[in-house]
Structure 1
Amino acid sequence: MSKFKNTFRIESTRLINWDYSTPWWYLVTINTKNHIEFFGKVVNDKMYLNELGKIVDKFWEEIPNHFKNVGLDYYVIMPNHIHGIIIINPIVETGYIPSQDKQSETPYMASLPLGDIVGKFKAAVTRWAYKNGYSNFKWQSRFYDRIIRNENELFNIRRYIEQNPLKWELEKDKPENIFDL
């Protein structure tokens, strides 16, 4: 076990020996720090995004524009967290590594690991928030992920994401019901 930020010991939740840049489908849950409700309200089982929530939605939708081999599936933004399915697709040839010998140029496109994709999303939202008057906005320092193992699990996760606003009133005061670290 190692120390996290030299403060306390915490085990990694990542699957040992798994390369998180591997083409696959991943469920991610990203929480706000201390579960503060920054993104809007659930009213009558429907999520209503405020200004910051709309930015989170916009930036989430833009992820594939920044990572050409990444796609998105179901997602939901809740008052204090986001659940989403990120799809890392196989790498396609899009560029070349420059070489002094033009004959030996090789195709190249790096696939970023899931943590880098989520980190860049969180950083973009945070930058926007600070520039636009949300100086107290913070994400939780880590995020939850799950490698989606089969079609049945994908179906259940999609249903969970869709039904998240319906369960908000029952679960909002029970942090153990939110994927958390």
Structure 2
Amino acid sequence: MYKKHKQYRLYNYDYSQDGYYFITIITKDRAHFFGKIKNQQITLSAIGSYLKDNIQQFYPDETLENPYTNNPLYINSSPTIIAITEWAILPDHIHLIVEILNLENKAYTSVTGLSPLTKGSVSSFINHFKGNVKKWCNENDFAGFNWQQRFHDRIIRNKGEYERIAWYIRNNVLNWKGGDT
């Protein structure tokens, strides 16, 4: 009998459909590459600062009529906008709420088993996001940096759940249990 491949995503769910997703991405071996926390404040390292700049590219600007105007995917006329609406950087991981917004009507398909990355999906976005940070680290003499394989996700199902997760993210540095680093 063959061992079944462990499913890391919700079975039969299309992760490219409109919605909000709570994502956690961790560094390999939980190494503290992104900064140090002291007195409930994070001081970002060079990698942490680059990570913050990357996150902020996807942060909607609520002061504009179209809050996605500065989004790199919107600028490139992608049929899918991916925004990061909440985020926190800690020494060894990041939390994000990722919003997927399809600008064109599309038929959603159920996904079963292993399949290639779907353009405009959560997995595709995280793959490119992690790859961009890793590439920058390699080019800037941070060759020891690496991500843990995969990432954790949760589909946010309603406004109450969104608010609880957003509160958790906003207070994550305050609740840091890793001690001052």
Return the TM-score normalized by structure 1.
0.76
| 1:85 to 2:97 alignment | yes
For the residues of structure 1 that align with 2:2 and 2:91, how far apart are their CA atoms? 32
Query: Equivalences for 1:37-56 in 2 at 5 Å?
Result: 37-56=32-51
- Are the equivalent residues in 2 in contact too, given 1:91–1:111 (CA < 8 A)? no
| 1:65 to 2:77 alignment | no
Give the one of 3, 7, 10 matched to 1:12: 7
**Matched letter for residue 90 of structure 1:** N
Deviation of the 1:161 alpha carbon: 0.3
For the residues of structure 1 that align with 2:56 and 2:94, how far apart are their CA atoms? 12
Q: Give the corresponding residue for 2:147.
A: 139
Q: Structure 1 runs of 4+ off > 3 angstroms?
A: none
Query: Equivalences for 1:142-161 in 2 at 5 Å?
Result: 142-161=150-169
Provide structure 2 residue ranges, at least 5 long, that are not aligned to the other structure.
59-70, 106-117
Provide structure 1 residue ranges, at least 5 long, that are not aligned to the other structure.
4-8, 94-109, 174-181
Return the TM-score normalized by structure 2.
0.76
Tell me which of the two structures has the higher relative contact order, counting C-alpha pairs closer than 8 angstroms and 6 or more residues apart. 2
**Matched letter for residue 154 of structure 1:** Y
Aligned residues: CA RMSD: 2.2
Deviation of the 1:59 alpha carbon: 1.3
Q: Give the corresponding residue for 1:97.
A: none
For the residues of structure 2 that align with 1:119 and 1:151, how far apart are their CA atoms? 27
Aligned pairs, how many? 150
Instruction: Render the CA deviation track for 1:115-156: whole Å, top value 9, x for unaligned.
Output: 010000000000000110101000001000000011111111
Largest Rg, 1 or 2: 1
| 1:127 to 2:140 alignment | no
Higher helix proportion (structure 1 or 2): 1
Identity of aligned pairs, percent?
Answer: 33
- Are the equivalent residues in 2 in contact too, given 1:2–1:11 (CA < 8 A)? no
Q: Could you say if the C-alpha distance between residues 152 and 114 of structure 1 is closer, same or farther in structure 2, counting changes exceeding 3 Å?
A: same
